Structures are given as C-alpha cells and as structure tokens.
Structure 1
Amino acid sequence: MQPTIGRIVRYTLTEADADAINRRRADFEAFQRTILPPRVSGTGGATGHQAHVGNRAQAGQTYPAMVVRVFDPSATTANLQVSLDGNDTYWATSRTEGDGEGHWVWPPRV
C-alpha cells in the first residue's frame, strides 16, 4: 500500500525524536517558571507561546501519525505529524515505511 495524504500510520520514535520532544517540553516548563503575572491572553505582556505539555517521550515508543506529504508516489517516504501523549505534535520528516525506530508501519486491520 502506498502512503497518501491524510492516512493514519504508526510511527516509532528514535532517540533524537524523543530528545527533541522532551527538550521542547522542558523549555516550556522553564519559561513558565520565569514569566511574571499577569498571564492573561490578549493583555500587554502576553507571550502567545505554545505550551508543550505531556508525558516523557522515549525512543521505541509508537504513536499514531498522519501522513502530511508524500514525495514520490512509488516510494514510501513521507512527512508525518505524530500525535504525542500530550497537547503537542512532532513533525517527523522524510520517514520511510519499515520496522523499528524512525520508521512507520500501517496499523493492523481489525
């Protein structure tokens, strides 16, 4: 089966993916500790920062991902938006179908 835009696949995180996700989440936590009130949306001093909050990501964890770009219909390389266990997503670029970390697979049919 060829990947097409909008299809859902399962993506397995690499160590680099997990590090990037956890770094964004830690950066937001550090920012939250340093900003002074008031933090009311639409008021002066409001930052508009995107909160990256969720459970710690680890290499080998598998998450659902949506195919957002396919480069060559005859290949299985695609860009993915990975839905994480939190309020954020991860953009996994140029990932190929296959087993193991850094690859995506089709979910089993039920």
Structure 2
Amino acid sequence: MQPTIGRIVHYRLSEQDQQRITAQQNRPLPDGRSPLANSSQAGAVFPAVIVRIWNNNPDAPLCNLHVLLDGELTLWVTSRAEGAEQGTWTWPPRS
C-alpha cells in the first residue's frame, strides 16, 4: 500500500523520541502548568498521521509523521521509513 497524506499509521517510538517526549513533559506550558501526559517508553506504539511524503525512492518512501501521544503532547518525526524497528511506522492491522 502506498502512503498518502492524512492516513493513520502505527509508529514505534525510538530512544531519541522518548528523550524528546521527556523534555516536553518537563517544560511548562504557557499557562505555567505541566502538560498532562501518560507515560511512554521506547518501543511503544502510537497512532500517527502522515503529514508529508518524500518520494526519493517510490518503493520505500519516507514520511513525516505527527505522532499522537496519550495526553496533551504530540511528537513530530521526520523522514521515517516503513518497518518493524523502533523509529519506523507500519500499517494498522486489518480486522
């Protein structure tokens, strides 16, 4: 299946992603309070929206994703490939 803008995929967090999430959790919001967020860890899977597709290789396009975390935080990740490892995305399973 070819990725298209607006599609929902599953994204597996990497160690670097988790470090960025932790930094966001420790940064106060404009109103001074801490963001509400449930815990996450590298390897956890979250839904993500495809926001851009890089077609350098049509057989394996890279995608920019907006990862929807469990709480008020989100994560923008760039140039991610389809795969099963941390830092990659997969299509949701069909039921």
Report if aligned partners of 1:22, 1:56 keep a CA contact under 8 Å in 2: no
Letter in 2 for 1:86: G
Letter in 2 for 1:69: R
Match of 1:59 among 34, 37, 42: 42
Letter in 2 for 1:24: Q
Task: List gaps (5 residues or longer) in structure 1.
Answer: 32-46
Q: Using the alignment, how far apart are the partners of 2:33 and 2:62 within structure 1?
A: 29
SS in 1 for 2:77: strand
Letter in 1 for 2:53: V
Task: List gaps (5 residues or longer) in structure 2.
Answer: none
Deviation at 1:50, TM superposition (A): 9.1
Report if aligned partners of 1:11, 1:105 keep a CA contact under 8 Å in 2: yes
Deviations 1:54-99, CA, capped at 9 Å, x for gaps: 0122100000000000011713210000000111210011100001
Cα gap change, 1:51 to 1:76, in 2 (>3 Å): farther
Structure with greater helix percent? 1
**Counterpart residue number, 1:80:** 65
Cα gap change, 1:26 to 1:103, in 2 (>3 Å): same
Q: Using the alignment, how far apart are the partners of 1:52 and 1:76 within structure 2?
A: 33
Q: Using the alignment, how far apart are the partners of 1:5 and 1:11 within structure 2?
A: 15
SS in 2 for 1:17: helix
Larger radius of gyration: 1
Q: Using the alignment, how far apart are the partners of 1:50 and 1:80 within structure 2?
A: 27
Deviation at 1:49, TM superposition (A): 7.1
SS in 2 for 1:82: strand
**Counterpart residue number, 2:75:** 90
Deviations 1:4-55, CA, capped at 9 Å, x for gaps: 0000000000011011011111122xx7xxxxxxxxxxxxxxx467963201
**Counterpart residue number, 2:2:** 2
Query: Is 1:70 matched up with 2:62?
Result: no
RMSD: 2.0
